[in-house]
Amino acid sequence: MGAYWRLMRPSRAARRPHLPTSPFEPPPPAPPAKEFGVGDQVTHDKYGLGRVTEVEGNAVLVDFGTRTVRIPAPYAKLFVL
């Protein structure tokens, strides 16, 4: 029975819009989306240092020397140096 409970995960609550009549503060605005350009030197938490070789709609191709990796948005672990 324990394995069954580990497989079940609670569902995430949907984000509700802030009502103007609410006594609570509105949530902070979303951070701006990261933008990368071809040739940018970047670092990734898992792959290390690399260079952007191609920018697609919502993903970037990064050459890390030993391999080229396609990293989709929101680029949580990818940072421009």
What is the per-residue pLDDT across 46-60, written as a single tens digit (0 to 9) for each?
999 999 999 988 899
- Count Cβ atoms within 10 A of the Cβ of residue 27 and give its class: 0-12 exposed, 13-18 middle, 19 or more buried: exposed
pLDDT band (50, 70, 90) for residue 10:
low
Whether 29 is covered by a domain: the verdict is no
What is the per-residue pLDDT across 27-40, written as a single tens digit (0 to 9) for each?
888 778 888 999 99
Whether 23 is covered by a domain: the verdict is no
For residue 50, give its domain range.
35-81
Q: What is the pTM of this model?
A: 0.63
What gap in Å lies between CA 55 and CA 33, rounded to an integer? 14
One-letter amino acid of 57: G
Whether 3 is covered by a domain: the verdict is no
**pLDDT reported for residue 48:** 93
Whether 59 is covered by a domain: the verdict is yes
What gap in Å lies between CA 81 and CA 69, rounded to an integer? 18
- Count Cβ atoms within 10 A of the Cβ of residue 72 and give its class: 0-12 exposed, 13-18 middle, 19 or more buried: exposed
Whether 61 is covered by a domain: the verdict is yes
Whether 15 is covered by a domain: the verdict is no
Whether 73 is covered by a domain: the verdict is yes
Whether 26 is covered by a domain: the verdict is no
- The domain that contains 66 carries what CATH number? 2.30.30
The total number of structural domains in the chain stands at: 1
